[in-house]
Structure 1
Amino acid sequence: MNSVHANAMVMNFGKKVVLAMMVVVTLVSCGKEGQQAGQGEAQALPVTVVELQPATVPISAEAVAQTEGAREVEIRPRVGGILLKRLYEEGAPVKEGQVLFQIDPEPYQIALEQAKAQLAQAQAKVAQTKREAERLKGLLESNSISHREYDNAVSDDDVAKASLLQAQATVREAELNLSYTKVTAPVSGISGRFQFSEGALVSANESLLTTVVQLSPIWVRFSLSDNDIQQLGGPVTEKTVKKITLKLPDGSEYNEAGKLNFAASQIDPALGTQQLRATFANADKKLLPGQFVRAKVVVGEREGVFLVPQSAVMNSQQGRFVYVVDENNHAVVRPVVTGDWIGRDWVILNGLNAGEKVVVDNLIKIRPGAPLQPHPPAEEAALPQGGQQKSAANISRTLA
């Protein structure tokens, strides 16, 4: 919407609102003629006002989001056997490499000893064939044996060496299988429920023992609608996003900003949204997987706007409006174009000017042109602009 068009809409809307409110006031006055007889001019109504100053606000969009572990690992045994012990507390933090389960090691210890015995045999065989080949080599040089006999001795030595390599590999495999009887956490995180009782038979690579979810960092998944994307100036990318903040379920702001680490390259045709994902360090482990939060994407700043308390903005059939105080201390209806909320403030994009005074309380008692007695917020109750105490907040007036 360009500024000329927006201003035209605001002016047209203003005329309609004033006319409608004058009709309402006239009807009310007619109904109360008897009560008003003999009374003098209406006294000025005391009202609290805030003086507008231009502000710079972030260009942003919010969406419902859900947290998930950056790594969610299923813990399965790499060897089968009887599950002897569980060595962790369910739901407790675990560290990478920490032993979680102990599988009966005895069968694998026996297999290792057998492999070592085969290795010793292979080593002895290699020593024997080496000596035999060296002995026959001397006889060959004195022409006491044929080349064939010597070649057979060399081949026997090569076969023995190959058997030795195989025996060494068997020992390493047996050692590895024995080490696998201690099931460890592949990542640091929060442990899950115990799925098998002690004494149960578990299968290699199949039985799900538990899960470990990495909390630091943690990911946050969310999506922005096509309208949100247009308000931000186009599709969201890692280059366009300045920062991402979170609002927790209790309404508080999370104390660290995140970074976008995934942005879909197209709009989902079924949902009309762009899928996004951000990463947060979550060093304090305050965020847990599965939480619903609100993600705020900031892509830049908008200058020259005004922040007005939500309590000061009212609704009519023609749109939103506020009351401002003119130079004669009379109430004037001012249609406004609103943007997003920031805290307890509306961002006003059009309809107001710097230095104007906006009424923030006693709104239900005001009519267009009514005399007012404006005063700033009381010092003891004054809050930053947009943080005024509740007065006639959330008043919604429907005009004919």
Structure 2
Amino acid sequence: MKKFIKITAIILVAAVFIGTFAFLYQKSKPEKVSYQILKVTTKDLKQTTVATGKIEPRDEVEIKPQISGIISEVYKEAGQTVRKGEVIAKVKVIPELGTLNSAESRVRLAEMNGKQAETNLQRMEKLYNDKLVSSEEYEQTLLAAQQAREELQAAKDNLEIVKEGITKNSESFSSTLIRSTIDGLILDVPIKVGNSVIMSNTFNDGTTIATVADMSDLIFRGNVDETEVGRIHEGIPVKITLGALQNMKFDATLEYISPKSTENNGANQFEIKAAINVPDSITIRSGYSANAEMVLQHADNALTVPESAVEFSGDSTFVYILTDSVPEQKFERRQIVTGISDGINTEVKEGLKENDAVRGLKNEK
């Protein structure tokens, strides 16, 4: 019995020893590595850049009052179309007390001068009819009376302007009626009845009554980095993608590149503008965020290799050419000359030919 137990123990120890040896042997053997095999192909290649920005109407106008006062009527609201000259709102003038007193005083003085001039004219007419004064004296008195009448009317008109902002004889030219200066769509009406408004002058921009824009003529406004601005020019085609309409692309034409850079987060950028072609069936709103894709370089029928297969070492580039696949993959390192890249594929100018097999990424086990 003791002998059996001893033999069993020896067998168990030997089994553990052999198992451990086999495990360590397997671990010490080098792992067999395999790589994806990629083909060199011919295709059209484009290197592009994307500028971020937003959509704006080319003509957007802020309508401001030509007189200060209080809004008494608002006739339009945002989203409505408006024609040039159409009334948007009405301003009620609140006269300044000193100006009002001066205007009233001018009227009273003009009335007194007018009465005296009319009295003088009546006397002169009687003397003239009796042939006691010359026609020259009569004409001078008549002219003085006419001037007094004109001054009285001007004083009354001035008082009416101070009180109402307009005279009855020129209502069609009223500065109290705020009119649109262009045809377009009203984007915003930031005022309401009862708001005080200020006319534009040297010291104040004035109160905005409404913002009107021609929404039939839209542009993309964005920025391009200084590293790419030298490879674009006015007139190149642009593809516009909107954040609100992601499944659609719109054709545009680059029409402006700023001659001066602006700093944005430490980087120099240049403003660009592109005119957009929008079908009549599609509505685009002002302020939509957008991306503009522009082609920087292109190569037609270029020999290309996936960028993941390219190895960069200093100023040189290399790929690994498949030389054997049995019993295991073997590769040869080869230097190549590359051209443009679209971020996925790279143009190969020298060193490869079509259908060459190159090493890609390592296969996952």
Normalised by the length of structure 2, the TM-score is 0.54
Call closer, same or farther: CA 1:45–1:276 in 2, change over 3 Å. Answer: closer
Matched, 1:246 2:240: yes
Matched, 1:295 2:255: no
Secondary structure, in 3 states, of the residue corresponding to 1:74? strand
Decide whether the 8 Å contact of 2:63 with 2:208 is kept in 1.
yes
Given candidates 128, 139, 159, the residue that maps to 1:150 is: 139
Secondary structure, in 3 states, of the residue corresponding to 1:150? helix
Given candidates 181, 184, 189, the residue that maps to 1:188 is: 184
AA in 1 matched with 2:342: W
Aligned to 1:95: 82
**Whole-Å Cα distance in 2 between the matches of residues 219 and 163 of structure 1?**
55
1:210-249 to 2 correspondence within 5 Å? Answer: 210-230=210-230, 232=231, 238=234, 241-249=235-243
Secondary structure, in 3 states, of the residue corresponding to 1:147? helix
1:1-400 to 2 correspondence within 5 Å? Answer: 33=29, 49=39, 51-53=41-43, 55=44, 57=46, 61-78=49-66, 80-85=69-74, 87-88=76-77, 90=78, 92-97=79-84, 99-101=87-89, 145-154=134-143, 156-157=145-146, 170-171=167-168, 173-177=170-174, 180-181=176-177, 184=180, 186-189=182-185, 191-192=187-188, 194-198=189-193, 200-205=194-199, 206-230=206-230, 232=231, 238=234, 241-249=235-243, 254-264=249-259, 266-268=260-262, 271=266, 273-284=268-279, 287-298=284-295, 302=299, 305-308=302-305, 313-314=308-309, 318=313, 337=338, 339-341=340-342, 345-348=344-347, 350-351=349-350, 353=352, 355-357=354-356, 363-365=361-363
| Deviation, structure 1 residue 307 | 4.8
Secondary structure, in 3 states, of the residue corresponding to 1:228? helix
| Deviation, structure 1 residue 280 | 1.9
Aligned to 2:202: none
Q: Which has the higher strand share?
A: 2
Decide whether the 8 Å contact of 2:185 with 2:213 is kept in 1.
yes
**Whole-Å Cα distance in 2 between the matches of residues 170 and 278 of structure 1?**
46
CA RMSD, 1 decimal: 5.3
| Deviation, structure 1 residue 273 | 2.7
| Deviation, structure 1 residue 277 | 2.3
AA in 2 matched with 1:203: V
Task: Tell me the number of residue pairs that the alignment of Structure 1 and Structure 2 aligns.
Answer: 288
Q: CA deviation digits over 1:165-214, x for unaligned, max 9?
A: 8969944544422x74365474513523x54444x243353544443454
Identical columns (%): 13
| Deviation, structure 1 residue 242 | 2.5
Secondary structure, in 3 states, of the residue corresponding to 1:355? coil
| Deviation, structure 1 residue 340 | 3.9
AA in 1 matched with 2:274: T
Decide whether the 8 Å contact of 2:187 with 2:212 is kept in 1.
yes
| Deviation, structure 1 residue 349 | 5.2
Decide whether the 8 Å contact of 1:196 with 1:209 is kept in 2.
yes
Decide whether the 8 Å contact of 2:71 with 2:89 is kept in 1.
no
| Deviation, structure 1 residue 56 | 6.5
**Whole-Å Cα distance in 1 between the matches of residues 51 and 348 of structure 2?**
21
Call closer, same or farther: CA 1:247–1:350 in 2, change over 3 Å. Answer: farther
Normalised by the length of structure 1, the TM-score is 0.50
Call closer, same or farther: CA 1:340–1:296 in 2, change over 3 Å. Answer: farther
Secondary structure, in 3 states, of the residue corresponding to 1:258? strand
State which structure, 1 or 2, has the greater radius of gyration over its C-alpha atoms. Answer: 2
Q: CA deviation digits over 1:267-297, x for unaligned, max 9?
A: 4578553522213245346554444433334
Q: CA deviation digits over 1:348-373, x for unaligned, max 9?
A: 2545645334669x8534xxxxxxxx
| Deviation, structure 1 residue 252 | 5.5
Call closer, same or farther: CA 1:175–1:281 in 2, change over 3 Å. Answer: same
| Deviation, structure 1 residue 157 | 4.3
Decide whether the 8 Å contact of 2:45 with 2:342 is kept in 1.
no
Decide whether the 8 Å contact of 2:187 with 2:211 is kept in 1.
yes
| Deviation, structure 1 residue 260 | 1.9
Call closer, same or farther: CA 1:45–1:60 in 2, change over 3 Å. Answer: closer
Q: Which runs of 5+ in 1 are unaligned?
A: 1-29, 37-41, 108-117, 119-124, 366-391, 393-400
Q: Which runs of 5+ in 2 are unaligned?
A: 1-25, 96-106, 108-113, 159-165, 200-205
**Whole-Å Cα distance in 1 between the matches of residues 149 and 361 of structure 2?**
100
